[in-house]
Amino acid sequence: MSELFRLPRAVRRDPAVEAWFAAPGEELRRLARPWFDEMRACGPDVGELLHDGFPTACVDDAAFAYVAAFSAHVNVGFFHGATLKDPDRLLDGAGKRMRHVKILWGRPVDEAALSRLIAAAYADMRKRLGTDGQGPLSL
């Protein structure tokens, strides 16, 4: 069985993701948006969709990261976060594979470190798919 989480309905830009961010009265979603935009910008092979109600970013159809907004915090999550190097110790979680960074309104986040984690998760997924450095996949 593959360790990759495949979401074959991922597309380059999903209108449902835009609607999720635009929902009225959901201010914490606005806090999550820049991080999802950063995931989108990782490469031309990044697709997206709502999975379990949250925006999820994929390399082709293999999920690598997501954002989730709750009542008091935002999670920026990584499907293979347990294997990512995290020298700044941002990652939370104790599962076999997944980890997340919790962002609380009004508390600073190490933006550079979180950006590095997003880039590392993208690069890790490309490597797992065997596409590292080979250009974009087809969406």
Q: Virtual CA dihedral for 129, 90, 72, 4, nearest 10 degrees?
A: 20
Q: How many other C-beta atoms lie within 10 A of the C-beta of residue 8?
A: 10
CATH number at residue 20: 3.90.1150.200
For position 1, what pLDDT does the model report? 38
Q: How many domains does the chain have?
A: 1
Distance (Å, whole) CA 26 – CA 23 = 6
In a domain, 28, yes or no: yes
| Structure confidence by residue, pLDDT tens digits, 6-42 | 999 999 999 999 999 999 989 999 999 999 999 999 9
| Structure confidence by residue, pLDDT tens digits, 49-81 | 999 999 999 999 999 999 999 999 999 999 999
Give CA angle at 82 (79, 86), nearest 5°.
110
Residue 136 reports pLDDT greater than 60: no
Q: Which stretches of 57-131 are DSSP H helices?
A: 111-129
In a domain, 124, yes or no: yes
In a domain, 4, yes or no: no
In a domain, 134, yes or no: no
In a domain, 136, yes or no: no
Q: What is the extent of the structural domain holding 60? A: 15-129
For position 97, what pLDDT does the model report? 96
